[in-house]
Amino acid sequence: MSLLLAATIAAVAAAASYLAVRKKSATDQRGASPPPIAHLEPKKPDRFANLPLALGDVVSADGSERWLAGACVGIDRDVVIGVLFFAPEGAKEKAVMVHAPPDRSILWLAEAEAIAATDEPPATLELERTTLVRKRRVPVRLERVGHGVPELAETALWAIYEGPARDVAVVIAFGQTALAWKGTRYLEGEYDRLGPAGDG
């Protein structure tokens, strides 16, 4: 066999091999399954963003501390209007309420005596020999998170009351149930946010 013939045969064989590899590669790509698409869960809104306190915080006021173990979030048209935090402390239920910005005050509360169950929070309220006047009433959707939050309906009327000096009260009314908490308002700088329980 001449050198020219041998070279020609080798070139033809190499070209055939190259074409076969390309064809196989194209076939493999067409038959391969597409990579899986990651399905991301929609991010839940942070209900405590921009609030003076958050779930799990320890807060100090009036010479005592409270651990905010649970929360009832009041939402009006997907906007948080306030959060009522619950703190396990002895037999009597303790709570701390915060408002939506720009208000940075907190309401330092304890469970109040039962009030008459009505569909509408009363315009005036007498708790523990203190007369309080309703300053705000908002229909809300309620979200319960954490621990120690009482059983509540999905929707309710959220009412804020003010009395002499710094006396305040919060009433959540739904159906024929009305829950009340009474206490004192503390302004920003009069309470200390100590951070999440267990830190430090």
Whether residue 49 is contained in a domain is answered as no
pTM of the model: 0.76
Number of domains in the chain: 1
- Mind listing the pLDDT tens digit of every residue in the chain (200 residues)? 454 444 444 444 544 454 454 555 544 545 555 555 555 555 566 889 899 999 999 999 989 999 999 999 999 999 999 999 999 877 778 999 999 999 999 999 999 987 876 778 899 999 988 999 999 999 999 999 999 999 999 999 999 999 999 999 999 999 888 999 999 999 999 999 998 876 65
Domain span holding position 131:
57-196
Whether residue 112 is contained in a domain is answered as yes
The secondary structure of the chain as a DSSP string is: --HHHHHHHHHHHHHHHHHHHHHHHHHHHHHSPPPPPP-PPPPPP-TTTTSS--TTEEEEETTEEEE--EEEEEEETTEEEEEEEEE--SSS-EEEEEESTT---EEEEEEPPP----SS--SEEEETTEEEEEEEEEEEEEEEEESSPPP--SEEEEEEEE-STTEEEEEEEETTEEEEEEEEEE-TTSSEEEEETT--
